[in-house]
């Protein structure tokens, strides 16, 4: 299936909506703590406004093919479940299976999976997740991703 869309206008509207969501959920932070997020939000807002103007003035519809979007939507659903799962189950217990599964999905595109591929994916996921957890807890001094169920 093919769809004609003004991608510049849609991208600008999406960026502006994202900036608005982040802007209204900033909370109360000090001036120095808010410098970087406010700068990023301002840049995102300006770029989104430029995309909206460009889409309205000179934007031409682009033909997009929607074939193969099922895997993209499945990936988005898995990432949303991971994000929700972190709150209830914790970062490590949700991230290790996620990263291992993503590695296996990417590897499967090259051909059938061998038992060795499962072990490598699990080892890489443990190293990556363990590394992130160590950096957050020991280097940055942040105790991230506490889960009430664990």
b (16+ CB within 10 A) / e for 60-73: eeeeeeeeeeeeee
DSSP string, 9-69: HHHHHHHHHHHHHHHHT--S--HHHHHHHHHHHHHHHHHHHHHHHHHHHT---EEEE-TTH
Does residue 124 lie in a domain region? Answer: yes
Average pLDDT score over the chain = 86
- pLDDT tens digits along 58-94: 878 888 777 777 778 888 898 999 989 888 888 888 9
pLDDT at 146: 63
pLDDT at 144: 62
pLDDT at 20: 94
pLDDT at 30: 77
- Residues 42, 82, single domain; the answer is no
What is the mean pLDDT of the segment spanning 104-133? 90
DSSP 109: T
Provide the number of structural domains found in the chain: 2
Does residue 149 lie in a domain region? Answer: no
- Residues 78, 130, single domain; the answer is yes
pLDDT at 46: 96
- Total-model pTM: 0.57
Query: Domain span at residue 9?
Result: 2-65
């Amino acid at each position: 299936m093919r769809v004609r869309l003004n991608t510049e206008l849609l991208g600008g509207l999406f960026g502006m909506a994202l900036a608005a969501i982040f802007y209204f959920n900033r909370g109360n932070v000090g001036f120095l703590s808010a410098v970087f997020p406010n700068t990023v939000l301002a840049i995102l807002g300006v770029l989104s406004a430029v995309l909206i103007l460009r889409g309205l003035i000179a934007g031409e519809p682009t033909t997009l093919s929607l074939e193969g979007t099922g895997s993209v939507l499945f990936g988005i659903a898995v990432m949303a479940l991971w994000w929700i799962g972190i709150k209830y189950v914790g970062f490590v217990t949700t991230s290790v299976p996620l990263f291992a599964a993503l590695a296996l999905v990417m590897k499967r595109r090259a051909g059938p999976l061998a038992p060795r591929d499962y072990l490598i994916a699990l080892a890489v996921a443990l190293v990556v997740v363990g590394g992130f957890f160590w950096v957050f807890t020991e280097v940055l001094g942040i105790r991230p991703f506490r889960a009430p169920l664990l």
